[in-house]
Amino acid sequence: MDQSMQSYSYNTGAVAAEQRNRVLRNTYWLLALSMVPTVLGAWVGMAMGINKILTPGIGLIVFLVGAFGFMFMIEKNKNSAAGVPILLGFTFFMGIMLSRMLAIVLGMANGASLTMMAFAGTGAVFLGMATLSSVVKRDLSGMAKFMFIGMILVFVAALANFFIQSATMMIVIAMLVVGIFSFFILYDLKRVRDGEETNYITATLGVYLSIYNIFQSLLALFGLAGGSND
């Protein structure tokens, strides 16, 4: 009887571990795939001159409506075959929205190097948090609640700064965004490793948004601090 129970427990644990590994593996694959439409969307946005077509105010409205609309559809279809195409459509849209800032930074004399620095910095943060997620044992739920409140406050501050247009405030916001969303990469990947998140589309969406915000914030920081027009 004891041997049967031990065998059952072992088999159950093995199946659970295999499921966690499969979700994590699918998350990484879909995350890598999502970068393709993001880059394509950024290229299309710059080719179209999206920063000239949309005024900052209209661009903000389009971004908020489009982003939240896509995220609603992704969550609604996360368990269906439509989930992945909708997510990839979302990343294409986010690439188009990113093209405005990319066009500004790439218009600087050292814009290409600043963009590569932001890309390398984002990659380093992701690799660091992914590695950390495999070794951290403590429960991060309490800290996640605190970080979520911080994220809301930063979002409100960013909206306010849209009208204030303070470079100093923008730098502070960008630094906070990098810190907060670095934590969320760690938190989301750890949830997958712990078996708390079993849907790889939802997991990919969370990590993608964190990476996107980190890259955009680093791009803004480097552009403000090291941009050259000579």
State how far the Cα of 141 lies from the Cα of 119, in Å rounded to an integer: 29
9 located within any domain: no
- Measured over the CA atoms of residue 112, residue 115, residue 117 and residue 123, the dihedral's sign is negative
State how far the Cα of 134 lies from the Cα of 132, in Å rounded to an integer: 5
Q: How many domains does the chain have?
A: 1
- The closest alpha carbon to 162, from 80, 60, 89, 92, belongs to 60
What pLDDT is recorded for position 200? Answer: 95
186 located within any domain: yes
Q: How many other C-beta atoms are found inside a 10 Å radius of the C-beta of residue 51?
A: 18
Q: What angle do CA 47, 95, 92 make, to 5 degrees?
A: 100
Mean pLDDT of 170-177: 94
Tokens of 183: 């934590």
The one-letter amino acid code at 199 reads N
152 located within any domain: yes
Report the percentage of the chain scoring pLDDT > 90.
67
Confidence band for 228, pLDDT divided at 50, 70 and 90: low
206 located within any domain: yes
3 located within any domain: no
81 located within any domain: yes
What's 1's DSSP letter? -
Prediction pTM value: 0.89
What pLDDT is recorded for position 163? Answer: 87
5 located within any domain: no
pLDDT digits (tens, 9 = 90+) for 177-198: 999 999 999 999 999 999 899 9
69 located within any domain: yes
Say yes or no to pLDDT of 11 above 50.
Answer: no
Q: Residue 147 in contact with residue 197, Cβ under 8 Å?
A: no
| Strand segments (E) across the chain | none
92, 140, 142 from 186: Cα distances, Å: 24, 9, 14
Mean pLDDT of 88-109: 93
Give 102: exposed, middle or buried? Use CB within 10 Å, 0-12, 13-18, 19+. buried
Confidence band for 28, pLDDT divided at 50, 70 and 90: very high
Three-state secondary-structure class, residue 70: helix
The one-letter amino acid code at 182 reads S
* Residue 135, domain extent: 24-226
Three-state secondary-structure class, residue 60: helix
